[in-house]
Each structure stands twice: as structure tokens, then as C-alpha cells.
Amino acid sequence: MPGSPIMMIDIQNQQDHRKINIKKVGVKGIKYPIIVLDRARGTQPVNAAINMYVSLPHHFKGTHMSRFVEVLNEFRGQINIKTFHTILEKVREKLHAESAHMEIEFPYFIEKAAPVSGAKSLMEYRCSFCGQNNGQKSDFLVVAVVPVTTVCPCSREISNMGAHNQRSMVSVKVRFRKFFWIEDVIRIIENSASGEVYSLLKRPDEKYVTEKGYENPMFVEDVVRNVAEQLNRDENFTWYSVEAENFESIHNHSAYAYVEKE
């Protein structure tokens, strides 16, 4: 009969007989607009990439992928740190799962002034919110990935002129007790390296940045230890990890170091 509902078989709800639990199943790379707090401007709209997963018991064949996006749409314009765990709980309940996981990665822009000329430009940093909820316990991490520069102490010591330097990426993950500004963690990282990276530099700025880095040489080990030392001084951070990768300018490999709070 025209207009009558069509009965459709739900394959995902059928039984699976392999008896293998799946720890995470879901959707990756959902492009979604969110608003994050910005110390200078109040808020900052960003285009995020969101990954959402749930656990799947061995007796279910599949999960309902569309329900992840349905939950996101329910929180349109309200996806932030404060609603993060509410979203996870909603996902867990809607998909009848024991645990739910979510990762939100986004570009974060800060206006930076060049050190000598004062020329202003926007600098991009990669940040993330990551968390999980199993109904009894929840976890939440903030991640900041910051480009810096390093100058090799050994190269400077043994060379009559100059020293090799490179751009480096430092990634910091933190657990915390109370709200903090992402800008503060970014500043800790930038202060822990030989020098900062800028979007816009005039010639006097280039001279300053080059000479400052030369006067402040650091191994990749120095960078992660410097960041860790600063984080240890703040009781708000209950746990952290710091990793740094130097994209070596005179080697065909990177130098890498990692530390975490025990």
C-alpha cells in the first residue's frame, strides 16, 4: 500500500557468534564547528575534527553509526569543556554501551607580535580535548601541540662558526583540577625551547630570533625537561606527558624525547 511503512531488518542488532569484544568502534573525522574560550577575545569559533567511539560487547554485530552524529546535533553550538562529559554520557546511553570516547581536535589561533618590529600576525596551534566515560569513572585531557625552534648545543660547541638548528614540535597532554587557559600551556612550551616560531617576521626580527636561539641552545631532552619542570610547579596539573620531536636539519631522521608525570 502506498505510504505504508517498510519493515527493514536491523543487521547491526543481530547476534555475532565470534565472541570477540571490540574496545572502540565509531566514527572518525567528523568536521564540525565549535566555539572555544579565548582569553583575548572571549570566544573563538573553530572548525574541529571529531572522533567518537563506544565499546561493543561480543554478542552485538555492529553499532549504530548515525547516532553519534545525532548526539552532536543535539549539542550544536554547545560543544565545549563543560558539556564534554554530558555528550559522552548521552552517547553511552543512546548506543547502550559500557563506555564512550571522544576526541575533538581543532586549530587555535593567537595573535602574536614580532619581537622587534611588533608586526602582528595570527599563529596557529593544534589543540585537542580527549576523554572517556564508562558510567562510573570519567577521564579528560587537554592537548596542545606547539612549534618551536631548537639550536644544537653540541654543534655550537664544536663549530667555529654557527650551529645547526631546526623546527620542533612539542606536544603536551594534561589532566587538571580546575579551569586553565590554553594560552598558558602554550607559553610554557615556547619559553622552554631555544626560540619561538612566528607567522610574520621582518629582518630585524629574524636577526633577533636567530641570535636569541644561538645564545640559548637546547637538546630535545632539555626541552621536555624544561616543560616538565614548569608543569611540576603548578599543582593544578595532576598528570602530564610531554613529547618533543626535532626535525633535524643535518640528519635524515628526527630526534625525539618523552616524559610524563608518574
**How confident is the model over 202-219, as pLDDT tens digits?**
999 999 999 999 999 999
Co-location of 39 and 113 in the same domain: yes
Q: Of the ranges 61-75, 96-110, 155-169, which one carries the lowest mean pLDDT score?
A: 61-75
Q: Please state, rounded to an integer, the average pLDDT across all residues of the chain.
A: 92
Give the CATH number for residue 241: 3.10.270.10
8 vs 65, higher pLDDT: 65
Mean pLDDT, rounded, for 115-129: 98
Write down the pLDDT at residue 14: 61
Co-location of 258 and 147 in the same domain: yes
In a domain, 7, yes or no: no
Co-location of 91 and 176 in the same domain: no
Non-local CB neighbours of 212 within 8 Å, separated by 6+ positions = 115, 194, 195
From the CB of residue 124, how many other CB atoms can be counted at a distance below 10 Å?
A: 11
Q: Which domain holds residue 25?
A: 15-136
C-alpha grid cell for residue 199?
607567522
Q: Which of 25, 31, 33, 28 is nearest to 57 (CA)?
A: 25
Q: Which of 177, 90, 185 is nearest to 133 (CA)?
A: 90
Domain boundary among 136, 164, 181: 136
C-alpha grid cell for residue 243?
613529547
Q: How many domains does the chain have?
A: 2
Q: Which of 149, 151, 150, 248 is nearest to 201 (CA)?
A: 149
Co-location of 80 and 54 in the same domain: yes
What is the value of pTM for the model shown? 0.89
In a domain, 3, yes or no: no
**pLDDT tens string 4-14:** 566 665 555 66
* CA 249 vs CA 117, 191, 244, 255: distances in Å: 27, 22, 15, 11
Write down the pLDDT at residue 64: 82
Quickly list DSSP for 40-57: TTEEEEEEEEEEEEEEE-
Co-location of 174 and 228 in the same domain: yes
Q: Residue 117 pLDDT more than 60? A: yes
